[in-house]
């Protein structure tokens, strides 16, 4: 990503969620900020629902970055003519709400990107969870592309968990983030324990990697649970008990997810969790093995659960997205 940026290229970083894309971007930004050669802007779009949300988020971060001490002046400079509503909290901290229509999207982006383009330093903007833009009701990708392709001082990282083959990404360098090599990760876990005057057996490290399916987020979470124990040595039996205790602590959350499903969705989710990954969930062998209803009902449930990101499509087949939810279903059903 750093090489792409200094070569004047935009970057697409693509992988399923929870593999560490955000952490990689933030690590890069930390390095660049320390060198004081680049201005960095990080925008998390996960909670955004439309183009107005994106513009509001971007404007807020740009103002905080460049106009923390002169907020109103910055607002007038960056969003002139758009009349944002300004308010102050009890501590006197200002905030604003931008109410714009579709015709003003172009103007808003032109002003924000134009402001960044005029900075003395180069600017790197990361849009995290960029797959959300594809769900906006407006033609967001086309609007963004119109402005982005004309910028020279500003480059972008588009990070997301959906396919990187969309026309929007043409001309950008694509990085597919995969799981960390298992043996490398195992040695890292063992070494990290040793550096803190603790020990973990190789068998326990292997179990934790199996339990987390070597997904960075889940591996770090369960390793943290293990590391916080008072014992100086972590054995595989202890790791298994800690993992079981963690699943038990999440039981209420996972049961709520299950209770919101239809019967067909619930049966399909449990079946997929027990299989790990399924290439053809509507195949007769799979339906028969797990006593599922007909292929059409399974296809309908599958479509909904993919849209809700309970499932995701991997190279191995369709999987339950949340690894620990998958482990819970394996253990309790």
Q: Break the chain into its structural domains and give their ranges.
A: 2-176, 182-249, 261-332
Do the Cβ atoms of 213 and 19 come closer than 8 Å?
no
> Is residue 29 helix, strand or coil?
helix
CA distance 266 to 67: 50
CA distance 1 to 10: 8
Tell me what the mean pLDDT of segment 251-269 comes to: 97
Do the Cβ atoms of 51 and 136 come closer than 8 Å?
yes
What integer pLDDT is reported at residue 82 of this predicted model? 75
Please determine, for residue 42, whether its predicted confidence score (pLDDT) is greater than 90: yes
Task: Encode pLDDT of 149-168 as tens digits.
Answer: 889 999 999 998 866 567 67
With a pLDDT cut of 70, the percent of the chain lying above it is: 98
* 132-137 CB contacts, 8 Å cutoff, 24+ apart: 132/45, 132/46, 132/48, 132/49, 133/45, 133/48, 133/54, 134/162, 134/166, 135/49, 136/48, 136/49, 136/50, 136/51, 136/54, 137/50
Confidence of residue 246 (pLDDT cuts 50, 70, 90): very high
CATH topology of domain 261-332: Arc Repressor Mutant, subunit A (1.10.10)
53 CB neighbour count, 10 Å cutoff? 15
Task: Encode pLDDT of 3-34 as tens digits.
Answer: 999 999 999 998 887 888 999 999 999 999 88
Confidence of residue 248 (pLDDT cuts 50, 70, 90): very high
In this predicted model, which residue has the larger pLDDT, 195 or 97? 195
> What torsion do the CA atoms of 35, 36, 39, 41 make, to the nearest 10 degrees?
50
Please determine, for residue 93, whether its predicted confidence score (pLDDT) is greater than 70: yes
What integer pLDDT is reported at residue 267 of this predicted model? 97
Helix (H) or strand (E) holding 176: strand 173-176
Task: Encode pLDDT of 59-73 as tens digits.
Answer: 999 998 998 778 778
Please determine, for residue 35, whether its predicted confidence score (pLDDT) is greater than 90: no
Confidence of residue 284 (pLDDT cuts 50, 70, 90): very high
> Is residue 128 helix, strand or coil?
strand
CA angle 76, 44, 219 (to 5 degrees): 155
What integer pLDDT is reported at residue 163 of this predicted model? 63
The chain-wide mean pLDDT, for the chain, equals 92
* 324-329 CB contacts, 8 Å cutoff, 24+ apart: 324/218, 324/221, 324/246, 324/247, 324/250, 325/254, 325/257, 325/273, 326/213, 326/273, 326/276, 327/211, 327/243, 327/247, 328/247, 328/250, 328/251, 328/254, 329/254, 329/269, 329/270, 329/273, 329/274
CATH topology of domain 182-249: Helicase, Ruva Protein; domain 3 (1.10.8)
What integer pLDDT is reported at residue 80 of this predicted model? 77
What integer pLDDT is reported at residue 167 of this predicted model? 66
What integer pLDDT is reported at residue 262 of this predicted model? 97
Please determine, for residue 78, whether its predicted confidence score (pLDDT) is greater than 90: no
Please determine, for residue 199, whether its predicted confidence score (pLDDT) is greater than 80: yes
In this predicted model, which residue has the larger pLDDT, 7 or 101? 7
The sign one gets for the Cα dihedral 239, 244, 250, 255 is positive
CA distance 14 to 24: 12
What integer pLDDT is reported at residue 165 of this predicted model? 63
What integer pLDDT is reported at residue 16 of this predicted model? 80
Token reading at 141: 């990708």
Do the Cβ atoms of 112 and 98 come closer than 8 Å?
no
CA distance 140 to 211: 39
What integer pLDDT is reported at residue 85 of this predicted model? 80
For residue 294, CA distances in Å to 7, 262, 268, 290, 301 come to: 53, 15, 11, 12, 11
> Is residue 39 helix, strand or coil?
strand
> What is the residue whose two structure tokens read 């309908």?
300
With a pLDDT cut of 90, the percent of the chain lying above it is: 71
What integer pLDDT is reported at residue 112 of this predicted model? 94
What integer pLDDT is reported at residue 83 of this predicted model? 72
Q: How many CA atoms lie within 13 A of 244 on its CB side?
A: 8
CATH topology of domain 2-176: Rossmann fold (3.40.50)
Burial class (CB in 10 A: 0-12, 13-18, 19+), 198: middle
């Amino acid at each position: 990503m750093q090489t792409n940026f200094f070569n004047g290229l935009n970057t697409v970083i693509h992988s399923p969620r929870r593999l560490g894309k955000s952490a990689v971007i933030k690590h890069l930004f930390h390095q660049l900020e320390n060198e004081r050669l680049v201005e960095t802007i990080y925008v998390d779009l996960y909670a955004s629902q439309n183009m107005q949300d994106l513009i509001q988020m971007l404007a807020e971060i740009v103002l905080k970055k460049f106009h923390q001490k002169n907020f109103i002046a910055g607002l007038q400079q960056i969003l002139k003519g758009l009349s944002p509503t300004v308010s102050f909290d009890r501590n006197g901290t200002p905030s604003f709400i931008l109410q714009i229509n579709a015709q003003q999207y172009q103007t808003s982006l032109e002003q924000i990107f134009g402001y960044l383009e005029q900075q003395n330093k180069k600017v790197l903007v990361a849009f995290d969870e960029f797959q959300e833009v594809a769900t906006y009701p407006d033609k967001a990708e086309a609007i963004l592309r119109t402005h982005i392709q004309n910028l020279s001082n500003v480059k972008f990282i588009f990070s997301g968990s959906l396919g990187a083959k969309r026309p929007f990404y043409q001309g950008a360098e694509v990085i597919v983030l995969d799981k960390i090599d298992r043996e490398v990760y195992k040695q890292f876990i063992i070494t990290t324990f040793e550096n803190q005057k603790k020990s973990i057996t190789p068998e326990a490290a292997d179990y934790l990697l199996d339990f987390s399916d070597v997904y960075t987020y889940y591996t770090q979470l369960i390793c943290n649970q293990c590391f916080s124990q008072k014992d100086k040595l972590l054995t595989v039996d202890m790791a298994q008990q800690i993992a079981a205790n963690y699943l038990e602590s999440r039981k209420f959350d996972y049961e709520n997810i299950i209770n919101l499903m239809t019967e067909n969705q619930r049966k399909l989710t449990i079946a997929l969790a027990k299989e790990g990954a399924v290439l053809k969930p509507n195949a007769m062998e799979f339906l028969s093995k797990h006593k599922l209803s007909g292929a059409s009902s399974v296809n309908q449930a599958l479509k909904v659960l993919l849209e809700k990101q309970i499932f995701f499509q991997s190279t191995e087949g369709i999987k339950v997205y949340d690894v620990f939810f998958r482990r819970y279903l394996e253990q309790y059903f």
